Chain A
Amino acid sequence: MSKGKILAGFLAPHPPHLVYGENPEQNEPRSEGGWEHLRWAYERARESIERLKPDVLLVHSPHWVTEQGHNFLGVDHLSGKSVDPIFPNLFRYNFELDVDVELAESCSQEARNLGLTSKIMRNPNFRVDYGTITTLHMIRPQWDIPVVGISANNSPYLLRLDEGLEEMDRLGKATRKAIEDSGRRAVLLASSTLCHYHFHVEPEIPEDMTEERPATYEGYKWDMRMIELMRAGKTPEVFELLPQFIEESFAEVKAGSLTWMYSAMGYPEIPAELHGYGTVIGTGNAVMEWDLSAS
């Protein structure tokens, strides 16, 4: 069997507003659109996925929070209706997905080999979190590629930040090893927003874009600074600034998705392509791609 490979990594944020704006048949609420810049960004990312033709999509989601373990979905086929408890008016999505259980089990074992607690979720009635579903829908709405869904252990919140993110680094390394041993061609999805300051009142019409803007100027500036570093391939600087970025912009990358992804990719110092940036209820969201397919 040939060695598996990580073809690409994507920063692939999960505001359910993007699904709502697109009006897919799986989602009950109907909209007049909205957040077009980010949805167009995802269209460009979708073109990359079509070109890359991965065997599997791995997604690390801050909205599957676990206290005991960095855990993996482990049921061949999961389905149900995901209703976002925070935005039920926007996201009531009938989902069906196939899980690459073999790869999930391998990732989990490699994580345990590196000293992490890791479990496999085998309950067929488990309702997949909206973060995972939103990211997967936006990147591949055909739902024709098996997935590995990964929880966000809350280590960065319970422990010191550096301790928590160190676990995400180990998780990334475990993921990489499992992929290489599997022979799979994989794409990684860091399901995460950047600056997470947000408005506390929803507009009367959620998709009214006259109400959409960054929640704070400082948060916006931070997002731009980090995006420019990632676009320039200045990976060491990204990680040097990451703690301050998290502290000063309440960045959702604290949950570990970005660190996991970068670690699995081996912290490449290649320019990331920015497909697009936009705000959702004031939070900063970027769709970015690190193409490793030629390396």
Chain B
Amino acid sequence: MSIIASFLVPSSPLTYFRSDNPPWQPTAEALQEAGRRIAEMNPDVLLVYSTTWQAVMDQLWQARKLQQGTHVDHNWFELGELSYDFQIDTELAQSCVTAATDSGIKSKPVDYDQFPIDTGTIVAMHFLNPNGKIPVVLASNNLYHDHATVAELGKVASSCATQQNKRAVAITIGELSGSFFRNEINITEDSIFKKSEDDWNRRMLDHLTKGDLKTCEKEMADYNAEARAEYGFKHLQFLLGAMGGSYHQCELLAYGPLYGKGGAVMQFTPE
């Protein structure tokens, strides 16, 4: 297996724009730490699944080599612009398209000038690949894909990297609990929107750090219902699929609010 480490990171641009805000600072610092660790690992490629790159018809894989530009988030437009500059591992991306399609997940490469790179990917690249030196494979979030399908995507990406003898870090981008503050708040007082969602986030994070995937899976439906877990927390499955369904160790680097939503930075070490 080619996966040397996996990371769960949030998609929110708040850490990008205001890393100094006390409630967001631990998460921003954890993202920076994750970036340092990845740099030390010196992987050949980052395998990325982003919940904020949404698709509905097929599974999309970014296949255009140079990704460079600025993006104004549709929701956080007043905070400024997000800059990005990274490269796609086009050979590996094309392999993923073929392999995913062969495994029953109809896939397409995306290779268009000024294709809108999503906020979550840009934030992740900012912290985890700040110089843009590590090539990336980037997979979309097809809204109709379930947990099993997302796991299969991770497995496919990992297998393709192995076939190409590439050491890979798997990254999944998405939040935990999904309720948020709809009005303007004092951002220095940001918190998880509801205590019950906070409790559920901590519960699931505890299961993961203890390696108790069985309980995590058993409680997933309740977690989704009680904490409005973003995309049903299916983005975790990309990492699990990439790592072969289990892991040796899980470290929680940070957990905190993002305008009411729950966000975590976690590192998984494969078996």
Contact = CB atoms under 8 A, between A and B. Distances in A.
Contact of A86 (B56, B80, B144, B182): B56
Q: Chain B's interface: helix, strand, loop or mixed, by majority?
A: loop
A119 B74 CA distance: 12
Contacts of B57: 86-87, 199-202, 281
A66 B75 CA distance: 5
A66 B80 CA distance: 16
A231 interface: no
A153 B75 CA distance: 10
A92 B112 contact: yes
Interface residues of A, number: 32
Interface string B199-227: 00000000000000000000000000000
Given A83-B112, A85-B54, A68 B179 contact: no
Nearest to A154: B182
Contacts of A201: 57-58, 106
Contact of A121 (B77, B110, B182): B77
Interface in A143-161: 151, 153, 155, 158
29 contacts: A66-B75, A67-B180, A68-B75, A68-B259, A81-B113, A81-B114, A83-B113, A83-B114, A83-B116, A85-B54, A86-B54, A86-B55, A86-B56, A88-B110, A92-B112, A122-B77, A122-B78, A125-B70, A125-B72, A125-B81, A126-B72, A126-B77, A155-B182, A158-B179, A200-B56, A200-B58, A200-B144, A201-B57, A202-B57
Interface of B: 53-58, 70-72, 74-75, 77-78, 80-81, 106, 110, 112-116, 118, 144, 179-184, 259
Given A66-B75, A92-B113, A123-B81, 11 more contacts: A64-B74, A65-B75, A67-B259, A83-B116, A127-B71, A151-B74, A198-B56, A200-B58, A200-B144, A201-B106, A202-B58
